[in-house]
Amino acid sequence: MDYIYPRAKEDAAEPDAIDTTACAADIIAEVEAGEKDKIVVCSKVLKGLNAWGAISALYDEIEAETKAMAAVPVAGTQTAYVAELDKVKAHLDSAKYLAGKKAEAGVTTWTDLVAKTAVVAEL
């Protein structure tokens, strides 16, 4: 229910333009800080802008990008792996993603990451 009593229709305000690079960095920072709720993340990034649709779509892009990067197999050389990550990224940092993969696996070298990933895949 919009209103109780009828009233004249108001002209819808045009959405504000957003700086996708800055907003993407803000979204990534919020999620990395532990915020899991999309509505909360987007609300914090909006900062008074009339751009809910654009911020929500950007959040969805980053989420899809994260899934695409996760789908890149850990194989071959580190340079080739990073090149494959670069093909599917738009807002994320491939070097940080690789460092995160190593940390997640509890290793510090590419060779150990490949070996650990191969062992996990066999299970």
pLDDT for res 122: 56
Specify the pLDDT at position 92: 95
**The predicted structure's pLDDT at residue 121:** 55
Residue 47 has pLDDT above 80, yes or no: yes
Tokens for 69?
């990067």
pLDDT in tens, 58-68: 999 999 999 99
**∠ CA 107-109-112 to the nearest 5 degrees?**
65
All structural domains of the chain with their residue ranges: 18-69, 72-123
CB atoms within 10 A of CB 71: 9
Compute the half-sphere exposure of residue 48: CA atoms within 13 Å on the CB side of its CA. 0
pLDDT reading at 84 higher than 60: yes
Name the pTM for this structure: 0.81
Q: What's the pLDDT band for 57 if we cut at 50, 70, 90?
A: very high
